[in-house]
Chains A and B, each alone.
Chain A
Amino acid sequence: MSDHEYTPKSKVGKWFNDRLPLLTLGAHLTDYPTPKNLNYWWTFGGILTFCLITQIVTGIVLAMHYVAHADLAFASVEHIMRNVNYGWLIRYIHSNGASMFFLAVYIHIFRSLFYGSYKSPREVIWIIGLMIYLLMMAAAFMGYVLPWGQMSFWGATVITNLFSAIPLVGESITTWLWGAYSVDNPTLNRFFSLHYLIPFLILGLVVLHIWALHVPGNNNPVGIDIKKPSKDTVPFHPYITIKDAFALLMFMIIFAGFVFFSPNVLGHSDNYIPANPLVTPAHIVPEWYLLPFYAILRSVPDKLGGVILMFGSIFILFVLPWLDTSKVRSAVFRPIYRQFFWIFVLDVLMLGYMGAMPAEGIYLVLARVGTIYYFLHFLVVLPVVGFLEKTDPIPLSISEPVLSAGAELSLAKKENGKI
């Protein structure tokens, strides 16, 4: 893993390091050569680590006071908000933390899409990242069920009913998921158990994600391979740590703004009404971060088709490294892809907006157009543009970002081949 042999200075350190090379790992992490041209979009990895730790710590605390029982869950959340010392603070950090986590992960993913970080040799990093994203969605969904408000209950009902679309065994699977004949106390209990488990699975995958990253090293805004260590790189500490810290603090200011001054603005007021199996709220919507997928689900007039398309919209991302046929990573040098990238961003935002609107009239039409375009982007645009696009000249190294007009693309490609 390490590029150089590290020997601890102290005798004790050496004794320990020979048996468990934690100090070598620490030295590797601090010295890790990082491209010096990383921009602020690259700070979201660190921010996401912060989000995960925050969610785990506040979550463990909340679990000390929360009661996972259909009759007591809502009351126990109110108990946390009213009686537990700093309970309101910890709960608001946790509930808004989920939104901040997704905000950060979306920026992280779109950064990867723009700069081509998912391409060879980083496909495994990308796939592990998607697994983390899937687990995040599962954790967020189950966490939203726990307060046992109206949105919790009906959100759980609608999402678990997705599985009933599976032919033949769908009904049995749904009943099995519920542990009852509707979303009920057994469902709440198992969701709590899984909600507690998943973050630790995510933590494990994060370790793999970073491990896989440290093999080829970071991509960078120019998208070319760099020699490491070299004059194109800086040691991770203190250069990247201080920059990550600065970006994290900016992020925390926004986070604190939500927690202290509008803690409920990202939630839904219906979730402060206790769950009632007899009355469905007029307008069920998932949390904002799941809206684009909700829009895709509703845009298909067929139950099974909607479910397949919704899951397909995520699973298509797993094969993205092989759908994008361009060898050039960064969109900075891909004039055509760049345009399509922004159209895609708009498309996802539009889908999100349609997910929040009632599924009727013009909203439904636009959601359908958005859904079709979503898949066209991956299945048609990416493969075709990769073949047809004439990319801009690529610099040979980060240190000379401005390339003389006559430089050959082939030279850059040759550079790409090296490690």
Chain B
Amino acid sequence: MSKEEKKVNRRDFLFTASYTVGAVGLGAVVWPLVDQMNPDKAQQALATTEVDISQVEPGKSITVLWRGKPVFLKRRTEDEIEEARAVKMDDLPDPQRDEDRVKEGKDEWLVMLGVCTHLGCVPLKNKGDYKGWFCPCHGSHYDVSGRIRKGPAPKNMEIPKFEFVDNNTIKIG
């Protein structure tokens, strides 16, 4: 390698190094500007919600707000549970047993996010072809277990993390 070539190589290396290091820095600057739009620490630590369910009669439901979204708490009748469990898996677009959607021994309580899995509207209760929920936005029908049966929604309504604190209190989150 001649002297001249070595010189050129060193120059190229310098420029490449400068550009690379500069680009890395620019990338590092972009991250805080992006991350600031993610949920902040107060949002992340948002309180769990405790719900008093002692006043809910069988067949009735209440709606509470959790993380800015409605949560349906429905106390189902024996008939409704039976109906939900009689459904064949083949009839479900998103097959899931009703037993897997409730807490064992507390089968009457259906706790789910009241958000249509299509585009996020809140479905209406006791409406639709399956006596469960019906989303008026684009016509999705859910059954008494909150499973999608008909319409554009792809999935069953989501079950949030929850637990029974005692017989009268449910803690969501």
Contacts and interface: CB of A to CB of B under 8 A. Distances in A.
Interface of A: 57, 61, 64-65, 79, 82-87, 89-90
A87 B36 CA distance: 7
Contacts of B166: none
B33 interface: yes
B42 A83 contact: yes
Contacts of A61: 33, 36
25 contacts: A57-B33, A61-B33, A61-B36, A64-B36, A65-B36, A65-B40, A79-B40, A79-B42, A83-B41, A83-B42, A83-B43, A84-B36, A84-B40, A84-B41, A85-B32, A85-B35, A85-B38, A85-B40, A86-B35, A86-B36, A87-B36, A87-B40, A89-B32, A90-B32, A90-B33
A82 B36 CA distance: 12
B1 interface: no
Contacts of A89: 32
Which 7 residue pairs of A and B lie closest in terms of their CB atoms, listed nearest first? Answer: A86-B32, A83-B40, A83-B42, A83-B41, A85-B35, A84-B40, A85-B36
Contacts of B37: 64
How big is the B interface, by class? 10 to 19
Interface in B8-45: 32-33, 35-38, 40-43
A179 B33 CA distance: 34
B35 to A, nearest CB: 4
Contacts of B35: 85-86
A233 B123 CA distance: 71
A13 to B, nearest CB: 23
A46 to B, nearest CB: 15
A84 B38 CA distance: 8
A79 B42 CA distance: 9
Given A64-B37, A85-B41, 19 more contacts: A79-B40, A79-B42, A82-B41, A83-B40, A83-B41, A83-B43, A84-B36, A84-B40, A84-B41, A85-B32, A85-B35, A85-B38, A85-B40, A86-B33, A86-B36, A87-B36, A89-B32, A90-B32, A90-B36
